[in-house]
């Protein structure tokens, strides 16, 4: 399979068709067949955009569309979360203010640079004119819980309804039109990237969105959702994706599968339903690695990460899971080597020579689970390493 040789998305260079869809009075969704969307809220005296695209050059394509419906200034850029393809184009709108949750601000500090490099490497098509990016995007306003933005008389509620796609996700709700901008919390016929996801919280956050019963939603990826039935369909689709992934991971942990086996089992559970979704192949290795770590339980993950609150796939978390086992196994080997003579006497309960087979078995076990078939050394676990481990890419 060609996807085993490179990131699916590095070969994904075909231009997507842009749509600019009205989803309520003076409300629009800029969409592009599964590429990151941007929402537009036009108020009495100014506008706000929800998510900024990956580069200023790409933001200009949004501005062009906005100028077909209004000449009011774009005063605010609202960031649904910290990912590079959502935030790095912000300067292209020349806004007065850039708004995010405090948690998103924290994530930009913690790993904004790393995510930029990672996404740039994985999604070259989304970084047109990458040299136009002036640097990381820093919010000028950050909030916790909820804040209200007024565009003239028009009220816009920005809310943290819970974690999901990341720990810092926010949605924008326009009460006069009952329209929501969901960011990547909802995807439509597009895979959910779960490399930073909180998979157990995500369905609860979807419930919170459903409780607003929006008339229309601009999702993070995929076509605009016009009408309550389409919104419900997209909510169900996203929920199914997230729970299928997490369920497959839990099962793999219970069954003690290796990462590679877990990857195959996840495919079995998900390919039929979601294989045709945009960026599905691209996301899968990250999704499996993240879900496996979450499948271990949050407290244990925290321990493994030295207390970091929400480490991503690149933070060595899921490999630490395997390294923990490696450490235990290695200790057993050391004990076999250095223990008193009597402890190394043959144990005939399992047949002659079984005391030698045990460490060999452990060594083999260790070799099977280490990233490059090595029995020592601490490989840095990056998304790329994860991908290669699973897919055997070079
Ligand atoms: Zn994202």
Between CA 204 and CA 390 the distance in angstroms is 30
Between CA 192 and CA 206 the distance in angstroms is 13
Question: What's the 65 CA to ligand 1 centre distance in angstroms?
Answer: 23
Question: What's the 352 CA to ligand 1 centre distance in angstroms?
Answer: 57
The answer to whether 161 and 205 have CB atoms below 8 angstroms apart is yes
pTM comes to 0.76
3-class DSSP state for residue 245?
A: helix
Higher-pLDDT residue of 374 and 220 is 220
Between CA 271 and CA 158 the distance in angstroms is 35
Contacts of 267 (CB under 8 A, 6+ apart): 284
- For 86-95, the pLDDT digits (tens) are 999 999 999 9
Question: What's the 297 CA to ligand 1 centre distance in angstroms?
Answer: 23
**Over residues 182-186, mean pLDDT:** 98
**Worst-scoring range by mean pLDDT, 14-28, 288-302, 334-348?**
334-348
Question: What's the 348 CA to ligand 1 centre distance in angstroms?
Answer: 57
**Looking at residue 295, what is its pLDDT?**
66
Question: What's the 269 CA to ligand 1 centre distance in angstroms?
Answer: 23
Query: What is the token pair recorded at 387?
Result: 């991908």
- For 232-247, the pLDDT digits (tens) are 999 999 999 999 999 9
- For 52-75, the pLDDT digits (tens) are 999 999 999 999 999 999 999 999
Question: What's the 364 CA to ligand 1 centre distance in angstroms?
Answer: 38
Query: What is the token pair recorded at 130?
Result: 């990458």
**Looking at residue 202, what is its pLDDT?**
97
- For 121-164, the pLDDT digits (tens) are 888 888 988 999 999 999 999 999 999 999 999 999 999 999 99
**Looking at residue 12, what is its pLDDT?**
61
**Looking at residue 376, what is its pLDDT?**
38
Question: What's the 196 CA to ligand 1 centre distance in angstroms?
Answer: 8
Neighbours of 76 (CB within 10 A): 24
- For 252-278, the pLDDT digits (tens) are 888 888 778 888 999 999 999 999 999
Question: What's the 333 CA to ligand 1 centre distance in angstroms?
Answer: 43
**pLDDT for residue 299 is more than 90:** no
Chain centroid to CA 24: 28
Burial 90-101 (b: 16+ CB within 10 A, else e): bbbbebeebbbb
Question: What's the 22 CA to ligand 1 centre distance in angstroms?
Answer: 23
Calculate the alpha carbon distances from 242 to 8, 222, 239, 267, 282 in Å. Answer: 21, 16, 5, 14, 16
Of 81, 84, 83, the closest CA to residue 102 belongs to 81
Question: What's the 337 CA to ligand 1 centre distance in angstroms?
Answer: 49
Contacts of 126 (CB under 8 A, 6+ apart): 35, 36, 54, 58, 85, 119
**Looking at residue 257, what is its pLDDT?**
82
Question: What's the 5 CA to ligand 1 centre distance in angstroms?
Answer: 24
Between CA 19 and CA 225 the distance in angstroms is 13
**H-helix or E-strand spanning residue 385:** helix 383-391
- For 104-114, the pLDDT digits (tens) are 999 999 999 99
Question: What's the 102 CA to ligand 1 centre distance in angstroms?
Answer: 16
154 forms beta bridges with 151
**Residue extents of the structural domains in the chain:** 2-245, 316-391
Q: Which residues surround ligand 1, an ion (CB under 5 A)?
A: 83, 184
Higher-pLDDT residue of 123 and 224 is 224
**CATH architecture for segment(s) 2-245:** 4-Layer Sandwich (3.60)
Read off φ and ψ for residue 324, nearest 5 degrees.
Answer: -60, -45
The answer to whether 381 and 320 have CB atoms below 8 angstroms apart is yes
Question: What's the 339 CA to ligand 1 centre distance in angstroms?
Answer: 51
Question: What's the 158 CA to ligand 1 centre distance in angstroms?
Answer: 17
Question: What's the 115 CA to ligand 1 centre distance in angstroms?
Answer: 10
Calculate the alpha carbon distances from 177 to 59, 107, 157 in Å. Answer: 25, 31, 12
Mean confidence (pLDDT) of the chain: 79
**pLDDT for residue 201 is more than 90:** yes
- For 350-364, the pLDDT digits (tens) are 444 433 443 444 444
Greatest mean pLDDT among 201-215, 242-256, 300-314: 201-215
Read off φ and ψ for residue 258, nearest 5 degrees.
Answer: -80, 170
């Amino acid at each position: 399979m060609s996807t085993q040789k490179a990131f699916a998305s590095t070969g994904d260079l075909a231009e997507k068709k842009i749509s600019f869809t009205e989803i309520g009075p003076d409300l629009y969704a800029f969409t592009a067949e599964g590429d990151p969307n941007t929402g537009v809220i036009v108020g009495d005296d100014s506008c706000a955009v929800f998510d900024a695209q990956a580069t200023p050059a790409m933001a200009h394509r949004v501005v062009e569309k906005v100028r077909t419906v209004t000449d009011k200034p774009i005063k605010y850029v609202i960031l649904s979360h910290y990912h590079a393809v959502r935030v790095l184009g912000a300067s292209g709108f020349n806004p007065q203010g850039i708004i995010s949750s405090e948690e998103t601000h924290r994530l930009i500090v913690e790993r904004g640079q790393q995510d930029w490099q990672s996404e740039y490497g994985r999604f070259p098509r989304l970084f047109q004119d990458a040299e136009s990016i002036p640097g990381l995007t820093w919010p000028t306003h950050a909030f916790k819980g909820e804040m209200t933005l007024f565009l003239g008389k028009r009220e816009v509620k920005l809310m943290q309804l819970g974690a999901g796609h990341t720990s810092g996700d926010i949605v924008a709700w326009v009460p006069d039109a009952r329209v929501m901008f969901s960011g990547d919390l909802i995807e439509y016929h597009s895979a959910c990237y779960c490399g930073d996801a909180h998979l157990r919280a995500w369905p609860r956050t979807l419930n919170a969105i459903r409780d607003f019963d929006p008339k229309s939603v601009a999702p993070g990826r995929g076509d605009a959702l016009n009408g309550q039935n389409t919104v419900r369909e997209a909510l169900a689709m996203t929920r199914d994706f997230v729970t299928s992934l997490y369920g497959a991971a839990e099962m793999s942990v219970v069954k003690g599968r290796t990462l590679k086996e877990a990857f195959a089992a996840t495919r079995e559970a998900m390919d039929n339903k979601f294989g045709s979704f945009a960026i599905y192949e691209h996301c899968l290795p990250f999704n499996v690695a993240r879900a496996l770590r979450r499948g271990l339980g949050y407290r244990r993950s925290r321990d493994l990460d030295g207390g970091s609150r929400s480490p991503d796939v690149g933070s060595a978390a899921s490999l630490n899971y395997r390294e923990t086992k490696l450490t235990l196994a290695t200790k057993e080997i050391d004990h076999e080597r250095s223990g008193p003579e009597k402890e190394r006497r043959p144990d005939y309960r399992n047949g002659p020579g079984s005391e030698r087979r045990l460490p060999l078995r452990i060594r083999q076990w260790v070799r099977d689970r280490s990233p490059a078939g090595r029995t020592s050394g601490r490989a840095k676990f990056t998304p790329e390493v994860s991908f290669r481990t699973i897919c055997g890419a070079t």
